Every structure is written in C-alpha cells, then in structure tokens.
Amino acid sequence: MATNANKAYDVVVIGAGNGGLVAAIRVLQAGYSCLLLEKHNLPGGFATSFKRGRFEFEASLHELNDFGSAEEPGDIRTLFRSLGVEDKIDWVRIPEAYHLITTDKKYDCVMPFGIQAFIDKMEEYCPGSRKSMTEFFELCNEVRDAQTYSNSVNGNTDSEYMKKNFPNFIKAGSYSVNQVLDALKMPEKAKDILNAYWCYLGVDCDRMSFLHYGSMVIRYITRDAWMPKMRSHEISLAMDTRIRELGGDIWYQSEAETILADDAGHIRGVKLTDGKVIETRHVIANCSPHLVFGKMLEKKAVTEQMVRATNSRTFAGRGFTLFLGLNRSAEELGITSHNYFIYDTADTVKQYDMMRKVSTNHVQATVCLNNAYPECSPEGTCMMYFTTMFMSDDWGNVTEEDYFKAKDRVADDMIRVFERETGCKIRDAIEEICVASPTTYARYCGHPEGVIYGYETAEWDSLMPRMMMMKEDALMSPGLRFAGGYAMRSSGYSSAYVSGDLSGRQTVGDLKKEAKA
C-alpha cells in the first residue's frame, strides 16, 4: 500500500463504513482532496460478506429500502446514481415486504409491497382496517415529502414553508407511533401487523417517533426492497472503486489514533497508530461520538458540552447473529419467505422489555436470501441468517468461561423457535454454522458494547430533533462532523448512506465558506 504521509488533505474521513464511503465521494465530487482511513483491510464495516465452506454469507444487510426500480427510483437509488455507483452493482428485488409471526396471538401474516396491495392484504387479515390504513399512508407520504425537502436544503428548513406545505407533518411531530395510530382509530390487529418493522429501528412503538417510523414504512412499501446479488460487500467495493476514480486516496490497515486540534479547538490533523500525521482542517468520523470524544480527539479540545451531550444518549441494540449454510434447498425445507419477523408478543413495549435480558429474548429477524436470489448458494442448498438484539448490556454479564456455551444457547434457541413457529425442520440440514455475538461486533467495528444500531432514537433524541440540531452539533467542534449509524440519520443502511451524503455536502459547504473568508 503506497501512502504519502506528507500530503495535506482538504478532508480526512475516518472509517470506510457506509456513511464514510459516501461522504468521501461527495467531497471528491466537489473537487476537494480526500483521504479515507480504515483500520480493517476491507471497506464497508458491517457492509461486507464472509465465506464458510461453500457459502458466502451476508454479514448484516437484510434488504435495502427506498431503492426502487431503475425506471421508478427511490431516494437511495437516486443517491447511488448521483454518486456514480448504481451501475457498478447487480441488484435483485426482494419478493415480499415481510412475514410476521407472533407466539402470543398466533399471527402468521405475509405482507406485500405496494400501498394498495398492502391495504388490501391488511383488510383481508383485519376487516374494517381499510380507512385507517389509507389515512396512515396519506400521512406517511407527507412525512416523506417533508423529509425530502429538509434533506434538499441540508436541514436549513424554512418554518413558514413547512407550515404551509406539510401541516400534518408538523402536527404529528411530537407524537409516538401508537399515539398516531390510535388517533387514526386503527384496529388493534392492524396496528400489531403494521408495527412489525419496529425492530429495524430498535425502539418500542410507545416511544418511537411516528415521523421516524412512518418515513421508514412508506419508503419500504412504495419503493420495494432490493439487495446486491453479491451481498452488501458489492456496494462497498463499488464505492471504493468510485473514490479511486475521483482521485481520492484510501489507506487500509491504517487506524486513526488521535484527532489533532489547535488551541482554539479547530481540527488540524489526524495521527495514526503508526505515528504518521496527516494535516487537514476537516474530519468526518464514521464512528461513535463516545469513541471520538472519549478517546480520539485531543483532550484540550474536548469540552464539557461534548461530554454531556454524548453521555446523555442511550445505546441502542447490541447485535447477535446466527449464520447457517444448509445442505437442502429452501423449497425442500419449506422456507417460503425471504424475511421473517418472529416475536414472542405483538406488544412492542413488552417485547422491548423482554429483549433487555439474554434469557428472555426470543425475537428474531430471519432472512433466507435464496428466496430472493436462488443462485446465492450452490444448487440444492440455501443460506439463512438470524438476527436479534439485546436492549441492554446484559451480554456483558456473560463470563469468559461461559462465553462459547452462551453463544451456543442463544443460537440453539433461535433454531428451536424458527422450527416451532414455521414448521420448517432445518437442524438436520446444517452444513455450516457461524455465530456473531455482541463481543464479535465490538471487536470487529469497535462499537461500544457490540451496539449495531448506534444511539437509540427515542423521545428527545429521535430522528427529527437530530436533524434540527445539525447546526448546533457542528459548532461543538469546528471542522468535525459525523457520518454512519451514530450520526443524525441514525442506524440502518439507507440512513447511513444519507448521513454520509449530508455530512459530505455540509463539509463541502464549510470549505467553500472558508475560501470566501
């Protein structure tokens, strides 16, 4: 790997995760120099894949929402198109929205993409729900339009314009998902089925902002979900290629140790663990503010405001994933869906509370990629990955001596629950098995406690307050911005890409202002 340690860069991006990759491209497209630093030997962070035997597993992506077709692109496909990476990736459409199964109420519901199809299917499962579901999607459309406007002006929204064009968005802004659904007089069963996506945001529906959830649901249902044929690593490699095409530099196996600052607290460079120093006035960090303010930023530049703002936040879900390579096809095993949500209870508040403890958590979001892309594994086989989250650091109570047994217990429970709830007998078909615990995620990406969802987006720290605070957050440390799952758009692939887009364009704006000064 050739490097030029003496070269100064307009911007240094720390971390080649989803947000960091997009931010680097945006900086380069504006004509500024950019260095992307990554401690691993591959790009993507969680957006990667790995091989076990004859199977190549997807590390984390279940499906990419708000993507849409080439003819009717969603916001993420449009973003990828503007970045110059859309055509570098082979895409496959996910066949259905989700398959919801609950143990308590015995729901077994397969929901389709498309607003009208979704409403019709909901009416089939829950007669009398059509009116409230129609009103729900009308409100969600307004939420999406308002957020698209906010993104187009980099968060610098005009309040009068918002009041005039998005009045219902403003009215719903301070209410939770369940409060809005109750106001719409949605039947209980319809609410239960509609709220299935809640685990993708990791907050129960009594505390989750309606604006956040409505935004996600409308983007899924209207634009379908898509997946790269060669797993999320295909996206990461495409962005790596694009950065190099634009003249950017990427240094792998290059860990940033210290973000250097001058006496006024302004960024002046980045020091690597091998002692190299890169001069820059702008850093975009694709990592946790806890890590940046607690360990990386020079102590003289760390203010009480930074510490208080960071420590006031709550870590979201800690990840646990089971990967299975099966020596029989999905059809042979009776696995009919791409994406299963299996819950103990349809009550999101009770379910969230049960997910605080390893021993009481039986939730799983489970994917069989073969049902979207049959050729993803050898003929006559299929792959599955099961993901859950722990809503506290209960995994931290697992002793070193019990670690491997604890992983086996959770993995065994995931298989048991899937077999019980679906009737699909998969245990005897297991050829390859791999388990990632919160410890695995903490080690792989350096995330505190193995968190995979960044900071919890509830109450004062939900999506819209974060978007409204972008200016103030940037002023805390001049020249430093964040991208990725811990940034203003929260966790999830689509959100991470959008955060990188925002942070990259905002940093370009900072550079232009400096040039005029």
CATH code, domain carrying 46: 3.50.50.60
> Can you give the pLDDT at residue 473?
87
What's the rounded mean pLDDT across residues 381-402?
97
Is there a domain that residue 472 lies in? Answer: yes
Here the tokens at position 294 are: 């607690």
Determine the structural domain holding residue 46 and report its residue range: 11-50+231-312+459-516
> Can you give the pLDDT at residue 467?
83
**H/E element, 100:** strand 98-102
Is the model's pLDDT at 266 over the cut of 60?
yes
**Sheet architecture: strand order including 108-111:** 108-111, 98-102, 339-343, 364-367, 382-390, 318-326, 430-436
Buried b (16+ CB within 10 A) or exposed e, 349-387: eebbbbbeebeebbbbbbbbbbbbbeebbeeebbbbbbb
What's the rounded mean pLDDT across residues 433-440?
98
Lowest mean pLDDT among 199-203, 257-261, 422-426, 443-447: 443-447
Here the tokens at position 69 are: 């077709």
> Can you give the pLDDT at residue 170?
86
Q: Name the most confidently modeled range: 168-182, 340-354, 454-468.
A: 340-354
Q: How far apart are CA 103 and CA 466, in angstroms?
A: 35
What's the rounded mean pLDDT across residues 336-341?
98
Is there a domain that residue 491 lies in? Answer: yes
**Predicted confidence (pLDDT) per residue in 110-128, tens digit:** 999 999 999 999 999 999 9
Is there a domain that residue 212 lies in? Answer: no
What's the rounded mean pLDDT across residues 476-486?
95
Is there a domain that residue 504 lies in? Answer: yes
Three-state helix/strand/coil letters over 212-253: HHHHHHHHHHHHCEEEECCCCHHHHHHHHHHHHHCCCEEECC
Strands (E), 105-171: 108-111
Is there a domain that residue 95 lies in? Answer: no
Nearest to 96 by CA among 82, 113, 81: 113
CA 26, 27, 30, 31 dihedral sign is negative
**Predicted confidence (pLDDT) per residue in 68-78, tens digit:** 999 999 999 99
Is the model's pLDDT at 470 over the cut of 80?
yes
Burial of 74 (0-12, 13-18, 19+ CB in 10 A): buried
CA 263, 269, 273, 275 dihedral sign is negative
CA 185, 190, 191, 194 dihedral sign is negative
Integer angstrom CA distances of residue 253 from 16, 358, 440: 11, 34, 19
> Can you give the pLDDT at residue 1?
39
Lowest mean pLDDT among 295-299, 383-387, 457-461: 457-461
Is there a domain that residue 485 lies in? Answer: yes
Lowest mean pLDDT among 5-9, 37-41, 356-360, 401-405: 5-9
Query: Angle at which helices 18-29 and 493-516 pack, to 10 degrees?
Result: 30
Is there a domain that residue 257 lies in? Answer: yes
Here the tokens at position 357 are: 């403890």
Is there a domain that residue 492 lies in? Answer: yes
**H/E element, 218:** helix 210-223
Query: Angle at which helices 18-29 and 233-245 pack, to 10 degrees?
Result: 20
The domain tally of the chain equals 1
> Can you give the pLDDT at residue 2?
42
If you count them, how many residues does the chain have? 517
CA 213 centroid distance within chain = 14
Is the model's pLDDT at 3 over the cut of 80?
no
What's the rounded mean pLDDT across residues 492-505?
95
